Amino acid sequence: MRVIRATDYDDMCRKAANILSAQVILKPNSVLGLATGSTPLGVYKLLAEWYAEGDMDFSETASINLDEYVGLAPDNPQSYRYYMYNNFFRHVNIKQENAHLPNGLAADKTEECARYEAIIRSYNGIDMQLLGIGHNGHIGFNEPGTAFEKDTHCVSLTESTIRANRRFFDNESDVPRFAYTMGIRTIMQARHIVLIASGVGKAEILRESFTGPMTPQVPASILQLHSNVVLVGDEEALSRLQRE
């Protein structure tokens, strides 16, 4: 694993965006695995700016997102499709037919998981997967205890996640109970992984994930086995990882 130390959030975003842009420049038809959440927002903003300045071209690029809530329509502001569209896709020239997320409205969850894995295979896999990390070590929606062998699957959200999401919805009954997520095996098959983390709140879980035992209780710990992982973190996030 390579660790790239950034001074702060903005610096972390610039470094991660540089890595993703280099990937796309070197291989215009790259398949990018993308994440939502607060950490990548600055990365998408920079890539959009560089596109606007004429430095980037996503016309041949494909993207395959990590996860999506079950039951949310693409125009629901809480859906990950909506997040991706508003924060990235609509600002660049990626073709909509090449920008993939699980379909939150699919009638059959098992079929939807199989369809998503088939999309990934149809592109011959993911060239570069961008990941954030949860405070409990989750990657995608793979919460502690998830088997490392899983492909894309449907998870029931924990009570604490449902409670945390409650504030975004008018009614408790609107809060999604399930989500689709790439599995750990899907993530591990990406050729390169770029994990981004910012803030002191991620420091302890990064230490556990990269210096502790590999265990399903800390899903990100499996990344120790991947041969091409770059961790881009700011000073605070990396404060508990020793400098090599």
| Catalytic residue selected from 143, 208, 234, 236 | 143
Does the protein bind ligand F6R through residue 138 (CB under 6 A)? yes
CB of residue 206 to ligand F6R, shortest distance in Å: 12
Contact set for ligand F6R, span 59-118 (CB under 6 A) = 66-67
76 carries an active-site annotation: no
In terms of Cβ atoms closer than 10 Å to its own Cβ (0-12, 13-18, 19+), residue 62 is buried
First to last CA, the chain: 11
CB of residue 55 to ligand F6R, shortest distance in Å: 25
Contacts with 172 (C-beta within 8 Å, 6 or more apart), sequence order: 166
For residues 59 and 97, give the distance between their C-alpha atoms in angstroms, rounded to a whole number.
11
CB of residue 13 to ligand F6R, shortest distance in Å: 12
Tokens of 99: 């920008």
How many residues touch ligand F6R (CB under 6 A)?
13
CB of residue 138 to ligand F6R, shortest distance in Å: 5
DSSP code of 106?
-
Contact set for ligand F6R, span 26-55 (CB under 6 A) = 35-39
Q: Which is nearer to ligand F6R, 8 or 55 (CB)?
A: 8
Does the protein bind ligand F6R through residue 209 (CB under 6 A)? no
| Catalytic residue selected from 98, 127, 138, 208 | 138
3-state SS assignment for residue 156? strand
- C-beta neighbour count of 206 within 10 angstroms: 22
User: Buried b / exposed e across 26-40, counting CB within 10 Å, b at 16+?
Assistant: eeeebbbbbbbeebb
| Catalytic residue selected from 60, 136, 151, 235 | 136
111 carries an active-site annotation: no
Asked whether 35 and 131 are in contact (CB, 8 A), the reply is yes
Q: Which is nearer to ligand F6R, 67 or 236 (CB)?
A: 67
What's the angle, vertex CA 31, arms to CA 30 and CA 34, rounded to 5? Answer: 125
Q: Which is nearer to ligand F6R, 72 or 139 (CB)?
A: 139
> Which residue numbers are catalytic?
67, 136, 138, 143
Binding site for ligand F6R (CB under 6 A): 35-39, 66-67, 132-134, 138-140
